[in-house]
Amino acid sequence: MSSFSRKYYHNEVLGIHLQSLYHLVKDRLIPEVFYVKWMYKKKTGKKLDLQEPKTLNEKICWLKLYDRTPLHTQCADKFAVRDYITERIGAKYLIPLYFHTKDPSEINASTITRLPCIIKTNHDSGGGIFVKDKKDINWTQIQKKLKNRLARNYYYHTKEWQYKHIEPRILVEKLLVDQHGNIPEDYKLHVINGRVRMIQVDVGRGTDNHRRNWYAPNWEREPYKWSSPKGAGKYTDPSETDVEKPKTLGEMVKLSEVLASPFPYVRIDWYDVDGRLFFGEITFHHDGGYQRILPESWDYKLGSLLKLP
């Protein structure tokens, strides 16, 4: 598309209507199965086999379409999942919740009194807003951003059913920092049929040096990569430098398997703050099942471990 065409498409009335029509068709009118098959082909270059799925990514796509329970919705809801965590492993693993509301106008200097904190929504996927010093915050801008997020049903952009019926809400949580004032490492444990199979550690998030290492439960480096795009044709490939084994690894593995027991496949996220564990979130379809595992043979090896219901 030429620069003139791009400018016309994005700025003129016709272009705006075409964009709206495109998103209406893509998000609302395309049936789920066709949408997932289309996205899988677009991202991986391969045809998705839902009749006899063999790779881990294919099986994640199958679960996205056919494994749906009210518990999925509760666990995807960053507010409602707190009850699940309290019931299964105890409230001591929850990040302190300072405030919650459905009204963006209530997010202001008078209600945000405990710092540092993070402001996020419960019903979608994406980063939160860090607040460390209130004098640097544009509350009007934050309220507008939150209003837009609350109006968005994440299901229609992903076809991940667990998000469809979440009641949108704004959460204000304590911002976790270690003894040096740094954001702690987070560990993402992938659990297959009740057992932790691999551990994902992202380092340098938000920078050009974002890397993703993969470890077995005994903290040996895995021989594959399952990377996400980070722009400009680059991916979160593994680092040559190893991440130190966390002292809480055994506790992390044990608790993850307790939380994951009702599900065939799930990812449980944790923060280790100076040796104390905090639950992060539960994710059912890592990267939507659309990012290739390389070498490809490992997509099949890991897929063979997952027994579908």
- Tell me, what's the pLDDT at 205? 80
- Tell me, what's the pLDDT at 96? 98
Per-residue pLDDT tens over the stretch 202-238: 988 878 889 999 999 999 999 999 999 988 889 999 9
> d(Cα 108, Cα 256) in Å, to the nearest integer?
36
What percent of the chain lies above the pLDDT cut of 70? 92
Per-residue pLDDT tens over the stretch 107-143: 999 999 999 999 999 999 877 999 999 888 999 999 9
Domain positions in the chain: 31-66+184-309, 76-176
> d(Cα 289, Cα 40) in Å, to the nearest integer?
8
What percent of the chain lies above the pLDDT cut of 90? 83
Residue 19 has pLDDT above 90, yes or no: no
Question: What mean pLDDT value characterizes the chain?
Answer: 93
Indicate if the alpha-carbon torsion angle 293, 298, 304, 307 is positive or negative.
negative
Residue 23 has pLDDT above 80, yes or no: no
Per-residue pLDDT tens over the stretch 273-293: 999 999 999 999 999 999 999
- Tell me, what's the pLDDT at 307? 98
> d(Cα 76, Cα 65) in Å, to the nearest integer?
15
> d(Cα 84, Cα 282) in Å, to the nearest integer?
11
- Tell me, what's the pLDDT at 287? 96
Per-residue pLDDT tens over the stretch 169-191: 999 999 999 999 988 989 999 99
Residue 2 has pLDDT above 60, yes or no: no
Residue 40 has pLDDT above 80, yes or no: yes
User: What is the value of pTM for the model shown?
Assistant: 0.91
Of residues 286, 268, 125, the one with CA closest to residue 187: 268
Residue 81 has pLDDT above 60, yes or no: yes
> d(Cα 263, Cα 105) in Å, to the nearest integer?
37
- Tell me, what's the pLDDT at 295? 98
Residue 76 has pLDDT above 70, yes or no: yes
Q: Which residue has the higher pLDDT, 27 or 51?
A: 51
